Amino acid sequence: MRTAFSVDQVRRAEAALMAQLPEGELMQRAVAGLVASCVRHLGGRVYGKRVVVVAGSGDNGGDALYAGARLARRGAVVEAVLLDEARAHSGGLAALRASGGRAANAADWTFGGAELVLDGVVGIGGRGGLRPAAAAVFAQVERARRAPGTGPILLAVDIPSGVDSDNGEVTGPAVRADVTVTFGTHKPGLLISPGAEHVGALEFVDIGLTPHLEGEPVLQALEAQDVQALLPTASAESNKYRRGVVGVVAGSTRYPGAAVLATGSALRSGAGAVRFVGESEVSAGVLAQYPEVLIGAGRVQSWVVGPGIGLDDGGQVAAALAEQVPVLVDADGLAALPHPVHRPHPTLITPHAGEAARLLGDPWTPERVEATRLAVVLELVARTGCTVLLKGSTTLVAEPGNPTVRVNPTGTPALATAGSGDVLSGLAGGLLATGRTAYDAGSVAAYLHGAAARELLRERPGRQIIAGDLVEVLTAGAVGTTPEPARRGTAATPSTPPRAPRSTR
Ligand SMILES: NC(=O)C1=CN([C@@H]2O[C@H](COP(=O)(O)OP(=O)(O)OC[C@H]3O[C@@H](n4cnc5c(N)ncnc54)[C@H](O)[C@@H]3O)[C@@H](O)[C@H]2O)[C@@H](O)CC1
Ligand SMILES: [K+]
> What is the tens place of the pLDDT at every residue in 334-392?
999 998 999 999 999 999 999 999 999 999 999 999 999 999 999 999 999 999 999 99
Is 391 annotated to bind a ligand? Reply is yes
Average pLDDT value for residue range 216-225: 97
Ligand 1, atom 21, lies closest to the CA of 58
140 CA → ligand 2 middle, Å: 17
Residues 141 and 279 in one domain: no
Is the per-residue pLDDT at 493 higher than 70? no
How sure is the predictor about 312, in pLDDT bands with cuts at 50, 70 and 90? Answer: confident
User: What residues contact residue 292 under an 8 Å CB cut-off, 6+ apart?
Assistant: 267, 273, 274
Q: Is the CB of 56 under 6 A from ligand 1?
A: yes
**503 within some domain:** no
First to last CA, the chain: 24
Residues 400 and 456 in one domain: yes
pLDDT at 238: 65
Ligand with an atom nearest the CA of residue 30: 1
**129 within some domain:** yes
112 CA → ligand 2 middle, Å: 21
**398 within some domain:** yes
Domain end: 155, 185, 219, which one?
Answer: 219
Ligand with an atom nearest the CA of residue 34: 1
Q: Is the CB of 189 under 6 A from ligand 1?
A: no
**500 within some domain:** no
Q: Which of 133, 125, 183, 179 is nearest to 152 (CA)?
A: 179
Is the per-residue pLDDT at 484 higher than 80? no
| CATH number of the domain within which 56 lies | 3.40.50.10260
Give the whole-angstrom CA distance, residue 137 versus residue 134.
5
The set of long-range contacts for 127-133, using a CB threshold of 8 Å and a minimum separation of 24, is 128/162, 128/171, 128/172, 129/162, 129/170, 129/171, 129/172, 129/173, 129/174, 130/161, 130/162, 130/172, 130/173, 130/174, 130/175, 131/83, 133/83, 133/106, 133/107
Q: Which of 378, 431, 376, 373 is nearest to 401 (CA)?
A: 378
Type and span of the H or E element at 153: strand 153-157
Is the per-residue pLDDT at 477 higher than 80? no
Q: Is the CB of 487 under 6 A from ligand 1?
A: no
Ligand 1 atom at minimum distance from 122 CA: 18
pLDDT at 243: 84
Residues 27 and 84 in one domain: yes
Is the per-residue pLDDT at 472 higher than 60? yes
**337 within some domain:** yes
Give the whole-angstrom CA distance, residue 398 versus residue 365.
20
Domain end: 219, 236, 255, which one?
Answer: 219
- Do the Cβ atoms of 37 and 181 come closer than 8 Å? yes
Tens digit of pLDDT for each residue in 7-20? 999 999 999 999 99
Q: Is the CB of 124 under 6 A from ligand 1?
A: yes
Tens digit of pLDDT for each residue in 109-155? 999 999 999 999 999 999 999 999 999 999 999 999 988 877 999 99
pLDDT at 478: 47
Q: Is the CB of 208 under 6 A from ligand 1?
A: no
pLDDT, averaged across the chain: 92
Query: Which of 184-193, 302-311, 396-405, 481-490 shows the lowest per-residue confidence on average (mean pLDDT)?
Result: 481-490
Residues 296 and 423 in one domain: yes
Average pLDDT value for residue range 190-194: 98
Residues 207 and 309 in one domain: no
pLDDT at 487: 36
Ligand with an atom nearest the CA of residue 119: 2
State the SS3 of 442-482.
HHHHHHHHHHHHHHHHHHCCCCCCCHHHHHHHCCHHHCCCC
Residues 35 and 166 in one domain: yes
118 CA → ligand 2 middle, Å: 8
pLDDT at 235: 65
Residues 48 and 138 in one domain: yes
Quickly count: other Cβ atoms within 10 Å of residue 191's Cβ: 27
DSSP-derived secondary structure for 251-309: --SSSHHHHHHHHHHHHTTT-SEEEE-S-HHHHHHHHHH-TT-EESS---SEEEE-TT-
Residues 162 and 69 in one domain: yes
**484 within some domain:** no
> What's the CA angle centered on 325, arms 271 and 441, to 5 degrees?
50
Q: Is the CB of 349 under 6 A from ligand 1?
A: no
Domain housing 41: 2-219
Residues 264 and 289 in one domain: yes
pLDDT at 319: 97
User: What residues contact residue 401 under an 8 Å CB cut-off, 6+ apart?
Assistant: none
ipTM exceeds 0.90 = yes
248 CA → ligand 1 middle, Å: 51
Average pLDDT value for residue range 64-68: 98
pLDDT at 148: 83
Average pLDDT value for residue range 425-440: 97
54 CA → ligand 1 middle, Å: 13
How sure is the predictor about 479, in pLDDT bands with cuts at 50, 70 and 90? Answer: very low
| CATH number of the domain within which 440 lies | 3.40.1190.20
Instruction: Detail the DSSP E strand segments found in 367-458.
Output: 387-390, 396-398, 405-407
**494 within some domain:** no
Average pLDDT value for residue range 54-58: 98
- Do the Cβ atoms of 377 and 192 come closer than 8 Å? no
Domain count, the chain: 2
Ligand with an atom nearest the CA of residue 67: 1
Residues 212 and 228 in one domain: no
Residues 338 and 470 in one domain: yes
Residues 212 and 343 in one domain: no
Ligand 1 atom at minimum distance from 157 CA: 41
126 CA → ligand 1 middle, Å: 6
**502 within some domain:** no
